[in-house]
Amino acid sequence: MAFAPAYLKLSGTGLRERANSAMNIMKECTLCPRNCTVNRTAGETGFCMTGDKPLIASWGPHFGEESPLVGRFGSGTIFFCYCNLGCVFCQNWGISRLGEGEEMSFEELARVMIDLQEMKCHNINLVTPTHQMPLILHAIALAVERGLTIPIVYNCGGYEPLEALRMLDGIIDIYMPDIKYANPVAALRYSKIKDYPHVAGLALKEMHRQVGDLVIDEKGIALRGLLVRHLVLPGGEAGTKDIVRFIADEISPNSYINIMDQYHPCGSAFEYPPIDRRTTKEEYEEAVQMALDAGLKRIDGVT
């Protein structure tokens, strides 16, 4: 049987109802666990600095993502402005902290999705979508009416409330959270959110409940499931050992994980030793070994 994205099982009415319900959350915004409770539909903004219109930094086929997303024609990546995390070391500082980009209508964002599909991209990859989730759902509903038929990737920072994730059940095909910290002290120091490990753990379980382990077709293309990212920080600040053990023991030993080695100081990271330097080759190799020792075998780029 040919693969069909989850959202095609919902009627157009069903998608619009989900979008409208999500928009209602923005009237006293709790779309992320910071719970700013501002009325974003009335021009107020909270931590994420975003109102009720999509803010897009860039979009296009992306060939630097994980191989099951990239395939031959690339991942159809849409970078959203601002973020609900505010990490001091963010590798996309200009987009996430400075908001470099432009406002789009729902119709324009839907057109972007269709354009990416027409470029033969294997998926629609939503980068930093958490705080713009209701706006994205409106655009998806319009894009489906225009013929969208490829998987949707929810490429987030892992700081997601269960209420919002449950609104995505049956819409998102591939969840790709970047699980950042196991240590609440590090989460507070670098992202000003000490509850990150607890929230991200619950979010990861809910994502896996919805989509399961990552399913890859005979051509090596991801169709559905959970793909976890973890950026190795200098000095073991991320708590990699605890993260990979949690994934193996409480999510699934068959989880697909990308242990990333590209950390370099950005933003204000130079003020926060030991993350004021790059991750070393030895630190990265140690992190990969931790994942293997925990029982994880599906590690991106590792044979």
Each residue's pLDDT tens digit, 14-58: 899 999 999 999 999 999 999 999 999 999 999 999 999 999 999
Beta-ladder partners of 155 = 127, 176
Q: How far apart are CA 19 and CA 41, in angstroms?
A: 14
What is the pLDDT at residue 191?
96
What is the pLDDT at residue 1?
58
Handedness of CA 96, 100, 105, 106 (dihedral sign): negative
Beta-ladder partners of 76 = 61, 124
Task: State in Å, rounded, how far the first CA of the chain is from the last one.
Answer: 30
* Segments of 151-263 assigned E as strands: 152-156, 174-177, 215-216, 222-231, 256-260
Q: How far apart are CA 86 and CA 90, in angstroms?
A: 7
Question: What single-letter amino acid sits at 276?
Answer: D
Q: How far apart are CA 226 and CA 299, in angstroms?
A: 13
Return all residues near 286 (Cβ < 8 A) that are at least 6 apart. none
Most distant CA pair in the chain, distance: 54
The label of the residue with tokens 């009627």 reads 11
Token pair for residue 277? 């330097």
Token pair for residue 99? 């908001």
Q: How far apart are CA 68 and CA 148, in angstroms?
A: 20
Return all residues near 128 (Cβ < 8 A) that are at least 6 apart. 79, 80, 82, 83, 92, 95, 96, 155, 156, 157
What is the pLDDT at residue 303?
62
Token pair for residue 280? 């070393």
Token pair for residue 262? 């590209």
Question: What single-letter amino acid sits at 95?
Answer: I
Enumerate residue ranges in the chain where pLDDT < 50: none
Contact 165, 137 (CB under 8 A): no
Q: Which of 3, 64, 61 is nearest to 217 (CA)?
A: 3
| Arch. (CATH architecture) of 6-299 | Alpha-Beta Barrel (3.20)
Ordered by start, the domain boundaries in the chain are 6-299
Contact 90, 266 (CB under 8 A): yes
Beta-ladder partners of 260 = 231
What is the pLDDT at residue 98?
84
Q: Which of 5, 265, 296 is nearest to 123 (CA)?
A: 5
